[in-house]
Amino acid sequence: MTTDTSLKPTTTLSLALRGCVAVAVVAVLALVWTEAGRSSHQAVQNAQVAMARTHVTLPRVEIVAKREPAATPVVLRATAKRPPLG
């Protein structure tokens, strides 16, 4: 039984190339983060302007009747059943 112990050379990226890739990834993430923040800030400003221009005039409300206060407060015991609503 013959065992082949020869190792094939593996291609690895150099340390400088790995560093450049890491810096490029961080730079792209920073640009995306900055653009997202800028877009969010602009959306808030646009919403504030739109809301400042909106004036809502509600119709006048007429009070038809006033509710009379209860003559005596109703006290319910913890064991007492409440009357059905309706």
What's the pTM? 0.46
pLDDT in tens, 27-78: 999 999 999 999 999 999 999 998 888 788 889 988 888 888 777 666 666 6
List the Cα angle 7/8/12 in 5-degree steps: 115
* CA–CA dist 26, 18 (Å, integer): 12
Average pLDDT over residues 72-86: 63
